[in-house]
């Protein structure tokens, strides 16, 4: 099939490359010239495992191209909208300007039989507004909604073999025909039995924010338990293991620690609350305000813990931070809990040195006042406390005996409950963590 993908960020670039891998003819379109030039040269403008190889393969097959020219979509029949919907400045609501502008630039290219597929995370009601524009343009095209559930770090796998497909369409012949076209696009994954749910537009839009809200709630639940553990001397990791064995609860997304960040969970729960307010059902989502508060409190608690291990004050103390990305296997620093803690400690007078395997360049742009170094050894040199704030595998593999040789004081604070306290204590370290004695 001939496919255009509007937006070549984390979602769109991966989607475009994966669609080409499936055998489709794909053009990726974005307004950022620099990113398009990099993608066209086979270099992703962000870190995503497996993407460079996939891009190279797809580009050399001749089935994948990138351009800033929106009219290139005229050759395609299926058009994916993959642009970002960040949080608005000074507001909880989502900024829909990129989605509206992408659809606006696509309208002149639409023709009868074309299908516009919304993948961006949007407030419920957005698809209906965009559908109206598609219909008003008398193009004969139809819009459907097909939310994306990919996780950064696993984006290629999640796109090629998703755990489910959700389609949302109007209950008309055109809507059904559009869903059938999407079946052709995803024929390979569907043929292996991937579950598919056909729904209305509103449900399909809600599914995405509901899923992210549930995940955020699960993380904040365990972090609230961590607060209880801190007050009672209990161990939140044992608690999570224990309740996680109940199949109704499950152990996934019950890792207590510094909480969630990134370009999705935080802004999605806020945009969801804002939308519920507009719909007159704000009460239904007031619990998400608490989810947000528990999450943000973890960052404050981490700075307090750093102060505690430094003997009551961090002023003038040398602190090493391992991790800047919002999670491992990503160079994304949007709303990164690690950077938020590092910056807060710096503002409160500590000398903070941050390292990360992939995110330093991005982090430097956002927090130019922080000191960034490349390797762990340099980061911890002379440190009076080491804070593990993003659980990169290389940090989990650190040898505590060896690391001890480089620090001024062997004190480690595990912000992700990812290290083995027994091993670190046996190597002479003072080990502290959130929600653990
Ligand atoms: C999230 C969802 O997991 C995806 O399903 C969704 O498609 C995506 O948002 C999106 O909306 O596009 P992502 O932002 O890549 O994916 O990251 P997650 O793996 O969900 O992690 C989010 C944050 O939660 C990270 O900061 C992570 O460190 C934290 N986390 C995760 C915890 O603190 N504890 C856990 O147990 C799990």
pLDDT per position as a tens digit, 318-374: 999 999 999 999 999 999 999 999 999 999 999 999 999 999 999 999 999 899 999
Helix (H, G, I), strand (E, B) or coil at 385: strand
Alpha-carbon span 305 to 293, nearest angstrom:
18
* 23-27 contacts, C-beta under 8 A, 24 or more apart: 23/63, 24/63, 24/185, 25/1, 25/63, 25/76, 26/58, 26/63, 26/64, 26/65, 27/3, 27/64, 27/65, 27/66, 27/67, 27/72, 27/73, 27/75, 27/76
pLDDT tens by residue, 9-43: 999 999 999 999 999 999 999 999 999 999 999 99
Mutate to test the pocket of ligand 1, among 147, 151, 251 (most ligand atoms within 8 A of CB): 151
Measured from the Cβ of residue 409, the count of other Cβ atoms closer than 10 Å reads 18
Question: Residue range 43-48: average pLDDT?
Answer: 95
Kindly indicate the confidence band of residue 177, based on its pLDDT and cuts at 50, 70 and 90.
very high
DSSP 342-368: HHHHHHTT-EEEEE-SS-HHHHHHH-T
Among the residues of 115-172, which ranges form H helices? Answer: 126-136, 155-160
pLDDT tens by residue, 271-296: 999 999 999 999 999 999 999 999 99
**Does 242 share its domain with 351?**
yes
Structural domain containing residue 67:
2-198
Mutate to test the pocket of ligand 1, among 155, 253, 264 (most ligand atoms within 8 A of CB): 264
Total length of the chain = 437
Kindly indicate the confidence band of residue 74, based on its pLDDT and cuts at 50, 70 and 90.
very high
In a domain, 270, yes or no: yes
CA 258–ligand 1 middle distance (angstroms): 13
The domain boundary, picked from 173, 198, 223, lies at: 198
**Does 48 share its domain with 150?**
yes
In a domain, 205, yes or no: no
Nearest CA to 120 out of 96, 155, 154, 89 is that of 96
Structural contact between residues 264 and 11, judged by C-beta atoms closer than 8 angstroms: no
DSSP state of 86: P
Mutate to test the pocket of ligand 1, among 260, 297, 418 (most ligand atoms within 8 A of CB): 260
**Does 259 share its domain with 323?**
yes
Nearest CA owner, ligand 1 atom 17: 151
Question: Residue range 159-171: average pLDDT?
Answer: 97
Using alpha carbons only, give the angle 14, 15, 16 rounded to the nearest 5 degrees.
90
Distance separating the N- and C-terminal Cα atoms of the chain? 57
Using alpha carbons only, give the angle 48, 51, 52 rounded to the nearest 5 degrees.
110
The domain boundary, picked from 153, 173, 198, lies at: 198
Kindly indicate the confidence band of residue 48, based on its pLDDT and cuts at 50, 70 and 90.
very high
- Full strand arrangement of the beta sheet holding 385-388: 371-372, 351-355, 318-322, 385-388, 411-414, 430-433
**Does 222 share its domain with 189?**
no
The domain boundary, picked from 198, 232, 250, lies at: 198
Predicted local confidence at residue 404, as pLDDT: 98
DSSP state of 31: S
- Cβ of residue 421 lying under 6 Å from some atom of ligand 1: no
Q: What percent of the chain has pLDDT over 90?
A: 99
DSSP state of 244: H
Q: What percent of the chain has pLDDT over 70?
A: 100
Nearest CA to 126 out of 80, 87, 95 is that of 95
CATH code: domain of residue 56: 3.40.50.720
In a domain, 133, yes or no: yes
Q: Whole-number mean pLDDT of the chain? A: 97
- Cβ of residue 265 lying under 6 Å from some atom of ligand 1: yes
pLDDT tens by residue, 359-387: 999 999 999 989 999 999 999 999 999 99
Question: Residue range 36-58: average pLDDT?
Answer: 96
**Does 22 share its domain with 163?**
yes
Alpha-carbon span 216 to 259, nearest angstrom:
9
**Does 159 share its domain with 274?**
no
pLDDT tens by residue, 393-412: 999 999 999 999 999 999 99
Question: Residue range 218-223: average pLDDT?
Answer: 98
- By annotation, the residues acting in catalysis are 264
CA 130–ligand 1 middle distance (angstroms): 28
pLDDT tens by residue, 237-274: 999 999 999 999 999 999 999 999 999 999 999 999 99
**Does 314 share its domain with 221?**
yes
Question: Residue range 144-156: average pLDDT?
Answer: 96
Predicted local confidence at residue 379, as pLDDT: 98
Domain count, the chain: 2
In a domain, 280, yes or no: yes
**Does 56 share its domain with 165?**
yes
In a domain, 278, yes or no: yes
Residue 95's Cβ-side half-sphere holds a number of Cα atoms within 13 Å equal to: 13
Predicted local confidence at residue 236, as pLDDT: 98
**Strand pairing class (371-372; 351-355):** parallel
Question: Residue range 168-186: average pLDDT?
Answer: 98
In a domain, 208, yes or no: no
Predicted local confidence at residue 273, as pLDDT: 98
Predicted local confidence at residue 363, as pLDDT: 98
Alpha-carbon span 189 to 244, nearest angstrom:
30
**Does 121 share its domain with 19?**
yes
- Cβ of residue 121 lying under 6 Å from some atom of ligand 1: yes
Burial label for 281, CB within 10 Å (0-12, 13-18, 19+), is exposed
Lookup: tokens for 334:
């949007």
- Cβ of residue 264 lying under 6 Å from some atom of ligand 1: yes
In a domain, 203, yes or no: no
**Does 183 share its domain with 223?**
no
**Does 179 share its domain with 243?**
no
Kindly indicate the confidence band of residue 60, based on its pLDDT and cuts at 50, 70 and 90.
very high
Kindly indicate the confidence band of residue 165, based on its pLDDT and cuts at 50, 70 and 90.
very high
**Does 47 share its domain with 162?**
yes
Using alpha carbons only, give the angle 9, 11, 13 rounded to the nearest 5 degrees.
60
In a domain, 288, yes or no: yes
CA 260–ligand 1 middle distance (angstroms): 7
pLDDT tens by residue, 228-243: 999 999 999 999 999 9
CA 266–ligand 1 middle distance (angstroms): 10
Backbone angles phi, psi at 56, to 5 degrees: -60, -45
Measured from the Cβ of residue 250, the count of other Cβ atoms closer than 10 Å reads 12
Alpha-carbon span 421 to 260, nearest angstrom:
23
């Amino acid at each position: 099939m001939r496919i255009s993908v509007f937006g070549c960020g984390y979602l769109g670039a991966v989607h475009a490359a994966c669609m080409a891998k499936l055998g489709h003819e794909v053009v990726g379109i974005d307004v950022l010239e620099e990113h398009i030039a990099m993608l066209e040269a086979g270099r992703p403008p962000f870190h995503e495992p497996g993407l460079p190889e996939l891009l190279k393969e797809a580009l050399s097959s001749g089935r994948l191209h990138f351009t800033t020219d929106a009219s290139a979509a005229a050759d395609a029949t299926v058009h994916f909208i993959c642009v970002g919907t960040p949080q608005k400045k000074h507001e909880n609501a989502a900024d829909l300007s990129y989605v509206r502008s992408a659809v606006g630039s696509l309208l002149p290219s639409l023709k009868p039989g074309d299908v516009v597929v919304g993948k961006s995370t949007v407030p419920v009601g957005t698809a209906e507004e965009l559908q109206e524009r598609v219909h008003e343009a008398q193009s004969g095209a139809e819009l459907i909604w097909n939310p994306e559930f990919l996780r950064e770090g696993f984006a290629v796998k999640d796109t090629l073999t998703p755990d489910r497909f959700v389609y949302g369409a109007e209950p008309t012949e055109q809507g059904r025909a559009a869903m059938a076209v999407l079946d052709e696009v995803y024929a390979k994954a569907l043929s292996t039995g991937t579950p598919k749910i056909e729904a209305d537009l509103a449900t399909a839009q809600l599914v995405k924010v509901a899923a992210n809200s549930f995940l955020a709630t699960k993380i904040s639940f365990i972090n609230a338990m961590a607060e209880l553990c801190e007050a009672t001397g209990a161990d939140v990791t044992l608690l999570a293991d224990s309740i996680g064995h109940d199949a109704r609860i499950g152990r996934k997304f019950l890792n207590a620690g510094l909480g969630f960040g990134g370009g999705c969970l935080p802004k999605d729960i806020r945009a969801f609350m804002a939308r519920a307010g507009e719909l007159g059902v704000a009460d239904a989502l007031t619990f998400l305000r608490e989810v947000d508060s528990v999450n943000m409190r973890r960052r404050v608690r981490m700075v307090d813990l750093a102060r505690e291990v430094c003997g009551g004050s961090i002023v003038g103390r040398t602190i090493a931070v391992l991790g800047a990305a919002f999670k491992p296997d990503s160079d994304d620093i949007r709303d990164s809990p690690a950077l938020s803690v590092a910056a807060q400690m710096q503002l409160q007078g500590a000398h903070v040195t941050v390292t990360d395997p992939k995110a330093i360049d991005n982090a430097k742009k956002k927090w130019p006042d922080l000191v960034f170094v490349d390797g762990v050894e340099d980061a911890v040199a002379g440190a009076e406390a080491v804070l593990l704030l993003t659980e990169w595998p290389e940090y989990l593999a650190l040898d505590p005996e060896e690391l001890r040789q480089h620090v001024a004081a062997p004190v480690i604070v595990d912000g992700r409950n990812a290290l083995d306290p027994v091993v670190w204590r046996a190597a002479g370290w003072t080990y502290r963590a959130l929600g653990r004695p």
